[in-house]
Amino acid sequence: MTILPVPLSTLQPGEKSKVIQLDVKGLLRRRILDLGIVPGTVLTCIGKAPAGDPIAYLVRDTVIALRSEDASLIYIDSAAR
């Protein structure tokens, strides 16, 4: 089975998937890692703002909000939806 990485920003409310890759650099990378978003972490999309940005995710029993631009740099397993 081939793992196809897709951006986290494509996850729809109610769907969950596993992080497989981070393409984030600099201070944002540090913030993402500090939030516990590392390869292997399971994330659940719990909602989007009316305009679509930011997006709320459940990460390790904590709700966080990420801008779509930042979420598009985090890649998830498309098969794990």
Closest CA to 75 of 15, 3, 23, 14: 23
Is residue 77 within 8 Å of residue 35, measured between CB atoms?
Answer: no
CA distance 67 to 2: 28
- What confidence tens digit (pLDDT) does each residue in 30-69 have? 999 999 999 999 999 999 999 889 999 999 999 999 999 9
pLDDT of residue 34: 94
List of residues 6+ apart from 41 with CB closer than 8 A: 18, 19, 59, 60
Domains plus CATH for the chain?
5-80 (2.30.30.90)
pLDDT of residue 72: 96
Total-model pTM: 0.90
Is residue 48 within 8 Å of residue 71, measured between CB atoms?
Answer: no
Is residue 66 within 8 Å of residue 73, measured between CB atoms?
Answer: no
* Residue 17 CB burial class (10 angstroms; 0-12, 13-18, ≥19): buried
- What confidence tens digit (pLDDT) does each residue in 3-22 have? 789 999 999 999 999 999 99
